[in-house]
């Protein structure tokens, strides 16, 4: 199949390029805009308590708007607010109620804090609106602009926080991160390819090709999201840039190294293109298939977030694979070898001696030493993964620490209980529709106010028919903190359920309750998604290698790579930098990129090992040759992809910094420890049994007139 595809793209390149141009125009012109959401509750299934509480509140109290924005006031000199200052805040609240808002509703000034340092204006969201909608974010931007002249020359400082403002800052942070990551990624790819190939066109090819692919992939993702009502969070655009450029460059390198190798063996340009597609095509398609399967396994997730991001990334990878097998070879066939590698001339001849040749020979002589060293390093790092502490504290992970919403929230907490900015709601409803007793509700609120982790509690409202009431809890801790999550999950929910008046049902809602349910959903997903993805990837490896042995140690090495990546991140961020924990989504992202993409490098190396073995070499000489020929590809691809992920650390917030470090170190582990050392050394040690029962290492027997391949003189190997 790949031989026929190679001949097609080599001899009909204009048809291939024209097909891509037409596809790009059609997709871009018909696709809707790719949208995202900041509302974490939208990511949860309906059976979770926080979602049920939200639905009940919207049904029972449609007029009770959720908090959309909080305007925080304090004095520029750090002193106490005077009566005149507080009167000014009340005046500003009245003024805000005269403005025409798209999503924000009533503004109400609260009394000054007990220590006199802070005062706030709470703005609700209009009926039927959402604090995470683009309209609410537009209102938050307008609100900030309107406040500037209102506090001029008053001695007051102001800042806007709350859901709408936090969503706005997170979106702007993502846009900034996208620009920074995009520039850094392009510069890195161009620079590294220039060093590797010393060619102008090769350096620019991934940028141009992936640019075209990104338009098509983004359009297809938007079409899929609209068709299947998938919701992605704001990080999807940044991640797509990294995935498309990182994986795209990897697969282009897989092809180019085989193309250059064919040229060095004396083939002309177009036959070399066909040969490269034939030889690299299976590895690219299998590697891409493993990545796609890993991403698509996320459709089994209980979280809408991952059910959306999985297919999105799978579409991006599938588009990239098709481009690497068709568009890239077609472009190379049109340009020709002289132009594609200009001005370099080193592509014409194989170097006399290479580091990878020496490395391969050394590994073939001492496979036990290399296998033990690589596995030992991964095992030691994996031990630290057991100390992973997940955190749901998004106070500065989605935005930079100097974002207005982050600063304003910290100011607000100087004078209020830490949970006052985002109260937790307890919905109490009669199971038979009869009115609830006011006395019982008051007593219920008092009991909740005495629970650990609750600063204050009070009855906040009751429906006209009296069948449903809402109790508002101000938590003692930051609503997104680990302490608040522990209290809501434990004593608060337990007390809310057990102390509810007879004949009623109590549901705990609010942001903290949403995060509690997110944690439970993530725990469930880890136990389902990971095993399913591993089994399907093993099936792909078994079909590719026609072996039931090799997939086991390949997946075991990938599992060690996952543990080592998480362990290294724990060492750096929790132990060395002293952070309390790492963002709860990190393991799933390590799975997405390190496990999936790490399998790419293993597939490339094992495919070359099989190819060399089928050429007549014994296991250890085959390992030496595989490292010599595939090693440069793995190393170059690993450095480029790791550098691409490392650019996320420039994004300016804690989530992208920890993710960028974890993914970059994970790719380096996958390329330089797993693929270059562990996989070939284990294959050399296991020998022919690695390919049982298909024995894919055995090439066809020579025909009656075909001489057997001459055996090469090989160094002596340790037994």
Percent of the chain at pLDDT above 70? 90
Condensed to tens digits (0 to 9), the pLDDT of residues 132-152 reads 778 888 999 999 999 999 998
> Could you report the per-residue pLDDT of 549-579, keeping only the tens digit for each?
988 998 889 889 999 999 999 999 999 988 8
In this prediction, residue 214 carries a pLDDT of: 85
Q: What is the pLDDT of residue 653?
A: 67
User: In this predicted structure, what is the pLDDT of residue 374?
Assistant: 95
Q: What is the pLDDT of residue 401?
A: 67
pLDDT band of residue 326 (cuts 50, 70, 90) is: very high
List, in order, residues 6 or more apart from 511 with CB less than 8 Å away. Answer: 40, 422, 424, 479, 480
Give Cα 716 distance to the centre of its chain: 46
444: confidence class by pLDDT, cuts 50, 70, 90 = very high
* Residue 447's pLDDT band (cuts 50, 70, 90): very high
Average pLDDT over residues 603-611: 87
- Residue 236: its pLDDT value, please? 66
* DSSP H/E element including 471: strand 468-475
Higher local confidence (pLDDT), 284 or 709: 284
* pLDDT for the residue 399: 58
| pLDDT tens-digit readout, 148-179 | 999 988 899 999 998 888 888 877 777 777 67
Burial class for 574, CB neighbours closer than 10 Å (0-12, 13-18, 19+):
middle
- Out of 52-56, 74-78, 654-658, least confident range: 654-658
Nearest to 121 by CA among 149, 92, 153, 155: 92
Looking at residue 65, what is its pLDDT? 66
Contact between 537 and 562 under an 8 Å Cβ cutoff? The reply is no
* pLDDT of 309 strictly over 60: yes
Residue 424: what pLDDT? 92
Task: Compute φ and ψ for 366, nearest 5 degrees.
Answer: -130, 60
Q: Which long-range contacts (CB under 8 A, 24 or more apart) does 520-525 make?
A: 520/48, 521/44, 521/45, 521/48, 521/301, 521/302, 521/303, 522/303, 522/390, 522/584, 522/585, 522/588, 524/302, 525/300, 525/301, 525/302, 525/303, 525/306, 525/588
Helix (H, G, I), strand (E, B) or coil at 346: helix
Q: What is the pLDDT of residue 42?
A: 57
Does 597 score more than 70 pLDDT?
A: yes
Whether the Cβ atoms of residue 244 and residue 320 lie closer than 8 Å to each other: yes
**pTM score above 0.95:** no
pLDDT for residue 232: 59
Grade residue 261 by pLDDT with cuts at 50, 70 and 90: confident
- Give the Cβ contact number of residue 98 at 10 Å: 7
User: Rounded to whole angstroms, how far apart are CA atoms 88 and 90?
Assistant: 5
Percent of the chain, pLDDT > 90? 32
The pLDDT value given to residue 400: 63
Task: Indicate whether 711 pLDDT > 50.
Answer: no
Q: What is the mean pLDDT of residues 23-39?
A: 76
Residue 511 CA to residue 452 CA, distance in Å, equals: 18
Secondary structure (3-state) at 716 = coil
Work out the average pLDDT over 114-140. 85
The C-alpha atoms of residue 253 and residue 257 are separated, in whole angstroms, by 6
Question: Residue 354 has what pLDDT?
Answer: 74
Average pLDDT value for the chain: 84
Is 428 in contact with 443 (CB distance < 8 Å)? no
Across 237-246, 295-304, 424-433, the highest mean pLDDT is recorded for 424-433
Residue 16 pLDDT class (50, 70, 90 cuts): very high
CA distance 281 to 611: 13
The pLDDT of residue 229 is above 80: no
List pLDDT tens digits, range 365-407: 999 999 999 999 999 999 999 999 887 765 555 556 678 888 8
Q: What is the pLDDT of residue 699?
A: 54
- Do 428 and 460 touch, CB atoms closer than 8 A? no
Domains of the chain in start order, with CATH, are: 2-30+169-394+517-691 (no CATH), 65-161 (3.30.70.1320), 423-509 (3.30.70.1320)
Q: Model confidence at 243, in pLDDT bands (50, 70, 90)?
A: confident
Question: Please, which pLDDT band fits residue 215 given cuts at 50, 70 and 90?
Answer: confident
């Amino acid at each position: 199949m790949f031989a026929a595809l190679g001949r097609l793209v080599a001899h009909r390149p204009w048809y291939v390029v024209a097909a891509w141009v037409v596809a790009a125009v059609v997709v871009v012109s018909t696709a809707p805009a790719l949208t995202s959401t900041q509302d974490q509750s939208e990511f949860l299934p309906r059976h979770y308590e926080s979602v049920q509480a939200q639905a009940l509140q919207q049904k029972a109290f449609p007029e009770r708007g959720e908090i959309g924005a909080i305007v925080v006031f304090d004095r520029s000199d750090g002193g106490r607010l005077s009566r005149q200052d507080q009167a000014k805040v009340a005046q500003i609240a009245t003024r805000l109620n005269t403005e025409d808002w798209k999503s924000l509703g009533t503004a109400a000034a609260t009394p000054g804090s007990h220590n006199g340092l802070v005062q706030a204006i709470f703005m609700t969201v209009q009926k039927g609106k959402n604090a995470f909608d683009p309209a609410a974010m537009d209102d938050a931007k307008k609100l900030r602009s309107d406040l500037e002249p209102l506090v001029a020359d008053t001695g007051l400082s102001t800042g806007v926080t709350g859901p709408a403002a936090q969503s706005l800052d997170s979106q702007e942070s993502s846009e900034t991160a996208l620009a920074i990551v995009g520039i850094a990624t392009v510069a890195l790819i161009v620079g590294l390819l220039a060093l590797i190939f010393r060619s102008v066109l090769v350096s620019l090819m991934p940028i141009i090709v992936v640019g075209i692919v990104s338009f098509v992939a983004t359009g297809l993702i938007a079409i899929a999201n609209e068709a299947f009502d998938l919701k992605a969070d704001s990080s999807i655009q940044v991640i797509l840039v990294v995935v498309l450029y990182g994986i795209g460059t990897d697969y282009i390198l897989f092809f180019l190294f085989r193309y250059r190798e064919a040229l060095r063996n004396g083939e002309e340009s177009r036959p070399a293109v066909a040969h490269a597609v034939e030889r690299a095509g299976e590895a690219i398609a299998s590697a891409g298939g493993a990545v796609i399967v890993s991403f698509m396994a996320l459709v089994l997730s209980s979280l809408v977030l991952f059910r959306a991001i999985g297919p999105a990334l799978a579409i991006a990878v599938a588009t990239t694979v098709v481009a690497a097998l068709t568009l890239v070879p077609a472009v190379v066939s049109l340009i020709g070898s002289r132009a594609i590698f200009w001005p370099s001339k080193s592509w014409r001849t194989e170097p006399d001696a290479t580091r990878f040749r020496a490395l391969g020979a050394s590994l073939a002589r001492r496979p036990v030493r290399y296998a033990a060293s690589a596995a030992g390093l991964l095992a030691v790092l994996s031990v630290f993964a057991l100390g992973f502490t997940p955190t749901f504290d998004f106070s500065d992970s989605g935005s930079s620490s100097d974002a207005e919403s982050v600063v304003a929230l910290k100011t607000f907490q100087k004078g209020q209980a830490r949970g006052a900015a985002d109260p937790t709601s307890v919905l109490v409803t009669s199971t038979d529709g009869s009115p609830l007793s006011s006395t019982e509700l008051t007593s219920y609120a008092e009991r909740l106010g005495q629970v650990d982790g609750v600063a204050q509690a009070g009855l906040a409202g009751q429906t006209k028919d009296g069948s449903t009431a809402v109790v508002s809890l101000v938590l003692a801790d930051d609503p997104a903190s680990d302490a608040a999550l522990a209290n809501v999950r434990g004593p608060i929910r337990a007390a809310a359920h057990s102390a509810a008046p007879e004949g009623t049902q109590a549901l705990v809602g609010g942001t903290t309750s949403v995060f509690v349910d997110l944690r439970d959903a993530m725990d469930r997903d880890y136990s389902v998604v990971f095993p399913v993805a591993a089994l399907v990837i093993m099936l792909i490896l078994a079909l590719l290698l026609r072996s039931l042995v090799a997939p086991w140690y390949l997946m075991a090495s990938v599992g060690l790579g996952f543990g080592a990546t998480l362990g290294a991140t724990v060492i750096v961020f929790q132990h060395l930098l002293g952070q309390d924990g790492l963002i709860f989504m990190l393991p799933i992202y390590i799975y997405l990129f390190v496990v999936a993409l790490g399998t790419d490098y293993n597939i490339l190396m094992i495919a070359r090992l099989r190819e060399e073995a089928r050429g007549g070499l014994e296991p250890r000489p085959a390992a030496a040759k595989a490292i010599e020929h595939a090693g440069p590809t793995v190393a170059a691809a690993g450095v480029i992809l790791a550098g691409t992920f490392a650019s996320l650390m420039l994004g300016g917030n804690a989530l992208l910094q920890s993710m960028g470090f974890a993914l970059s170190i994970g790719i380096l582990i996958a390329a330089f420890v797993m693929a270059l050392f562990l996989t070939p050394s284990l294959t050399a040690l296991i020998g022919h049994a690695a390919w049982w029962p298909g024995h894919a290492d055995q090439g066809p027997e020579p025909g009656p007139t075909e001489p057997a391949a001459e055996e090469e003189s090989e160094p002596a190997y340790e037994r």
